[in-house]
Chains A and B, each alone.
Chain A
Amino acid sequence: MQYLTSDEVRALELKANSIRQSIIEMLTEAGSGHTAGPLGMADVFTLLYFGILKHDPLNPDWEERDRVVLSNGHICPVLYATLAHAGYFEMEELLTLRKFGSRLQGHPHREALPGIETSSGPLGSGLSQAVGMALAERMDNPYSSKFFYCLTGDGELNEGQIWEAVMLAGKEKLNNLIVIVDRNGIQIDGYTKDVMPLEPLAEKFEAFNFDVQEVDGHSMRALNDAIGKAQAVYSQPSLIIAHTIPSKGVDVFERDFRWHGNPPGKGPEDRVSRDKQSAVALEKLRTLAGTIEPQDIS
């Protein structure tokens, strides 16, 4: 496990903030798409791509890379933005999200864009694919140090297929599999506790032979420690329950499930009117990053 210095933590936080700004810009330009999940998972994605993964943005098909399987494909704006910031493709391309002819499809298409490990959108199948990848790797090389990170939503855990995959991962003791669930407590129709209660979530996964940790999904140090511990688990797959705040970073969007599937400009207006949603979000983020621009003061 790599210790993060204060400077490294600060650098990661600033990177996550930049990625959040990109997410706001791309969603605003697209005029549709999901806001709450991408903003909420920006810290996890930043830490993975700028602190944890073995990968090479200039050689996306590098055989020895770790794999990141995004199971809840609808939060792809955070994946796209992180890939662009990491150098997989030009930043300008982010503004083509969801447009005709774009490689940035509304939900990820593996055949379209480098750095995408699978097509996803219909919920529940990414975890099965990560299990398949981890199994295949172990067949070839039982001493491999490659890790398979699968990111899922908490609402996604409603899907039966998730538990089929969890059963198989537990049976096969896939210690190269690290699942990170975005425990933000919301899904499209409301709070997860109302739509379909998941608790006791940790105990459920433990019963299926997973090693389980619960962390603050916005703390770089806590996430880094948890992933380090998960890598060291010897004979079990790992689950990290990352407690996140939906729309984290833009206080006037935070914690409201109605931001699940709406972009800035089309979200709920209780706290900020639609015509100002995008600008206010960007101003909040620049303020948090300490990079206030002239228009923010006027």
Chain B
Amino acid sequence: MFADHLQPNLSPETVERTPNRNGYGEGLLEAGKRDERVVALCCDLTESTRTNLFAEEFPQRFVQVGIAEQNMASVGSGMAAMGKIPFIASYAMFSPGRSWEQIRTTIAYNNSNVKIVGAHAGVSVGPDGATHQAVEDIAIMRALPNMVVIAPADVHEARKATLAAAKYEGPVYFRLGRSNTPVVTTPESPFMIGKAERMFSRDDAHEVKVGIVVTGSLLFYALMAAKELNKNGIGASVLHVPTIKPLDTEALEAFASEHGALVTVEEHQVIGGLGSAVAEHLSETIPTKMIRLGVHDEFGQSGEPDELIAHYGMDTKAILEAARKVVG
């Protein structure tokens, strides 16, 4: 059954869809009102990243850096050194994609209080094609010491992640999608950095069990798959892991022990993302059979978001197939 704090009556036909970058825009504005140290920087994508809400309210605390992501990362570090809480936003492919070394040296190594916001992550960017579809960002950010890595599920969680990042002292990366993302959580759903949340609990009448571990925008598909599996004799649960680093190892170990077999789901390369993080941890603690869903060592392409999610095997159908296979 669904966790009680989720949207009621979730189904593909009725679910509301909103880009989670809207949650960033609202959250940033709210964080800016709460704390005057919050400043925003952007690389000529102010409207697209929804930084414009903050920029219009606080023009003196907004820096238009121009199309210069490497500069933006280090300017953000310099501002943090003076006590500011900079949010630096661009598309994930460019920041952190292009500016990784600047982020490593001037933000992570300095342990700077900079928040890196990568919009347009995942293949669901759609028609723009592979050049703009960041599916490696979690991997490259997860490898950095001091860095927190978050993939919010939807617009509400993106807002909460923004507010939590503003309060957290240290470097944070979070990714946002471009397209309309199913709204699964509510303003009341819990969110804490470093905490995984059980979003669907299996029907314990079923003997065969499977755990679905998901991050970011694919939470809805995982929930739909779990619902379907439970109707068909497999006790499936969903653990949502918005914070990929630091990983909620306690929740993960309990979830793995309870289910015995896992499917991981992420809109990212299976190399280096959530699936890797889960496999790395469990192989040293509770070795668990698992199938990792995501992009399999290839680039994206143009198309509509839904058809790309289906093509790369990350939709409800793909999760159902993987779940049946991993318990079979």
A125 touches B82 (CB 8 A): no
**A21 within 8 A of partner (CB):** no
Which residues of chain A from 240 to 279 have any CB-CB distance to chain B below 8 Å in the complex? none
Q: Which residue of B lies closest to A148 (CB)?
A: B78
A133 touches B102 (CB 8 A): no
A133 touches B109 (CB 8 A): no
B109 touches A139 (CB 8 A): no
How distant is B46 from chain A, measured CB to nearest CB, in Å?
15
How distant is B77 from chain A, measured CB to nearest CB, in Å?
5
Q: Which of A119, A137, A139 contacts B39 (CB 8 A)?
A: A139
Q: Which of A122, A132, A171, A172 contacts B77 (CB 8 A)?
A: A132
A135 touches B105 (CB 8 A): no
Q: Name A's interface SS.
A: helix
B81 touches A161 (CB 8 A): no
Q: Mark B56-92, 1 if CB is under 8 A from A, else 0.
A: 0000110101101011011111111111101000000
A122 touches B101 (CB 8 A): yes
User: Given known contacts A168-B68, A168-B71, is B78 in contact with A139 (CB within 8 Å)?
Assistant: no
B63 touches A133 (CB 8 A): no
How distant is A70 from chain B, measured CB to nearest CB, in Å?
13
B75 touches A131 (CB 8 A): yes
Distance A69 CA – B75 CA, assembled complex (angstroms): 12
**B257 within 8 A of partner (CB):** no
Kindly name the residue among A126, A130, A132, A140 whose own CB sees the greatest number of chain B CB atoms within 10 A: A132
B106 touches A161 (CB 8 A): no
B78 touches A133 (CB 8 A): yes
Q: Which residues of A contact B86 (CB under 8 A)?
A: 132
**A117 within 8 A of partner (CB):** yes
B82 touches A119 (CB 8 A): no
How distant is A291 from chain B, measured CB to nearest CB, in Å?
39
Q: Which residues of B contact A171 (CB under 8 A)?
A: 66
Distance A135 CA – B61 CA, assembled complex (angstroms): 10
Q: Which residues of A contact B80 (CB under 8 A)?
A: 132
**B110 within 8 A of partner (CB):** yes
Which residues of chain A from 142 to 171 have any CB-CB distance to chain B below 8 Å in the complex? 160-161, 164-165, 167-168, 171
**A128 within 8 A of partner (CB):** yes
**B111 within 8 A of partner (CB):** yes
Distance A165 CA – B63 CA, assembled complex (angstroms): 13
B77 touches A136 (CB 8 A): no
Q: Mark A110-134, 1 if CB is under 8 A from B, else 0.
A: 1100000111111011101111111
B66 touches A129 (CB 8 A): no
Known: A128-B71, A133-B79, A168-B71; 10 extra A-B contacts, CB below 8 A, are: A109-B109, A110-B110, A111-B110, A118-B78, A121-B105, A125-B77, A128-B74, A136-B83, A161-B74, A165-B71
- Closest 10 pairs (CB-CB, A-B): A132-B78, A128-B74, A164-B71, A129-B78, A136-B82, A132-B75, A164-B68, A133-B78, A125-B74, A132-B79
29 contacts between A and B (CB under 8 A): A69-B78, A110-B109, A110-B110, A120-B105, A122-B102, A122-B105, A125-B70, A125-B106, A128-B71, A128-B73, A128-B106, A129-B81, A131-B78, A132-B74, A132-B76, A132-B77, A132-B78, A132-B81, A132-B82, A132-B86, A135-B75, A136-B78, A136-B83, A139-B60, A160-B70, A161-B71, A164-B68, A165-B71, A168-B66
